[in-house]
Structure 1
Amino acid sequence: MKVVTGFVLGWVVLAVAALLLVFSGLYNVAASKQDNPIIAWLLSTTMRRSVAHHADAAAAPGPSTEDQVRQGFKLYNETCVYCHGGPGKDPVDIGQGLNPEPPYLADTVGRWTAPELFWIVKNGIRMTGMPSFGRTHADAELIAAVAFIQRLPQMTPAQYAEFEKQPEAESSTPQ
């Protein structure tokens, strides 16, 4: 009985401490302040496990075509490059001011499967600045964006610049 009482009391003390922390305002939520390493690990691990759990392998984009990559560039260049940058392109002020810092996708895209990337682009990630594009873009557009994102690790700044020079008609979004 003492063990159960001690266990319950321990949880009550922990809950009260957590509520005191929340309501005291002592925890600094400023985007300019980095999280302590334990909190950063907890949030990052939770995010990665959640994405892996919710990403539907059945909804995975198939092999990408060159046309999808070109179409995906248009969406990436209009929405993503500001925070994530690109080959030869640094993130703008908005992206540099986010916490956690948006990853440079050319370096990190290999850590994610196609279904996970699609899920992230479609649903976003809470409290990171990563918006959900699923409400504003068709799945075909998001699949094209994933095709382009997966091409980033092999892309040079010159190749990215070539995509930027494409006529609007060539880079129109899929219907």
Structure 2
Amino acid sequence: MPTARGRIVGKESQASARGGAQALRVLGEDAMRFISGLIVGLLLVAAAGAFMVYGGHVSVAATTPPDMLDKLAPIALDKAVAHQAPKMTIPVDPAAARRGMEHYDENCLACHGAPGVKPMEFAQGMNPAPPGLEGDTQNFSDGELFWIVKNGIRASGMPAFGVNHQDPEIQDIVAFVRHLPKLTDEEKRALAAALPHEHHHEEGEKGESAHEEGHHH
């Protein structure tokens, strides 16, 4: 027959069990409310995204002012290139730089220009704008530059040279990009001469116009 003490302990155990069960129910209800709210929030975000995309409300014009995408894209680019680029060093080789200059003339100069050589007029309407390669681009490693030239950058206007260039040719292009900050006057003249005649004509007209304005004043 249970003693008085045993009955008291039993009642305390039952009360403790009921309290624990009640606490679990409260926690479960809170968790369900949180999960339900999270699901509703995600559905609202998805619905808003679908409205923007399928409703044609996303601005895709090249004249669009800088927005959040323009702030996030460079970060994503730097991280992706650093993660995917090969570890490699391209030796300083004047012969390789000369070979790379020929490819640069044909494929890169119109958009990127060079020190003392402006890019073609159409490049001014590109968004994102093609960077001058003698500046911050030099902060990329050799492997990163190689990866960018070979694979291109989607939705930026930067093509993938690996489609029609062999790896040694791409290495030559990188060698010349490394040489850009140290271009000689002769190399600058050669690059300027490589641009289409119409470009020189436009630059000449601008110079003549400025000269005439100065003469009238």
The answer on 1:132 being equivalent to 2:168 is: no
Match of 1:170 in 2: none
Considering only aligned residues, what root-mean-square deviation do their CA atoms show, in Å? 1.7
Alpha-carbon distance change, 157 to 29 in structure 1, aligned in 2, over 3 angstroms: farther
Indicate yes or no: 2:60 matched with 1:29.
yes
Counterpart amino acid of residue 158 in structure 2? M
Partner of residue 79 from structure 1, selected from 101, 104, 107: 107
> How far 1:161 sits from its partner (Å)?
2.3
Residue ranges of structure 2 left out of the alignment (5+ in a row) = 1-31, 194-217
Mapped to 2, the partners of 1:77 and 1:34 lie a distance apart of 31
Indicate the structure whose relative CO is greater, using CA pairs within 8 Å and at least 6 residues apart: 1
Report the counterpart of residue 19 of structure 1 in structure 2. 50
Letter matched to residue 119 of structure 1: W
Q: Does 1:100 align with 2:128?
A: yes
Q: 1:93: Cα distance to partner?
A: 2.2
Contact 1:84 1:104 in 2 (8 A): yes
Contact 1:87 1:156 in 2 (8 A): no
Relative distance call for 1:10 and 1:156 in structure 2 (3 A) is farther
Query: Structure 1 residue 108: deviation in Å?
Result: 2.1
Question: What letter corresponds to residue 70 of structure 2 in structure 1?
Answer: A
Question: Could you tell me the TM-score, scaled by structure 1's length?
Answer: 0.86
How far 1:109 sits from its partner (Å)? 2.3
Is 87-96 or 119-128 further displaced after alignment?
A: 87-96
In 2, Cα distance between equivalents of 1:17 and 1:127:
23
Correspondent of 1:7 among 27, 30, 38: 38
Structure number with the higher helix fraction is 2
**What's 1:41 paired with?**
71
Structure 1 position 35, deviation (Å): 3.0
Number of matched pairs: 162
Distance 2:185 2:159 in 1: 26
SS in 1 for 2:45: helix
* 3-state DSSP of counterpart to 1:33: coil
Higher-Rg member (1/2): 2
The gaps in structure 1 that reach 5 residues or longer are 166-175
Report the alpha carbon displacement of residue 47 of structure 1 after superposing the two structures with TM: 1.3
Q: What is the TM-score with the length of structure 2 in the denominator?
A: 0.70
**Residues of 2 paired with 1:134 and 1:97: CA distance?**
26
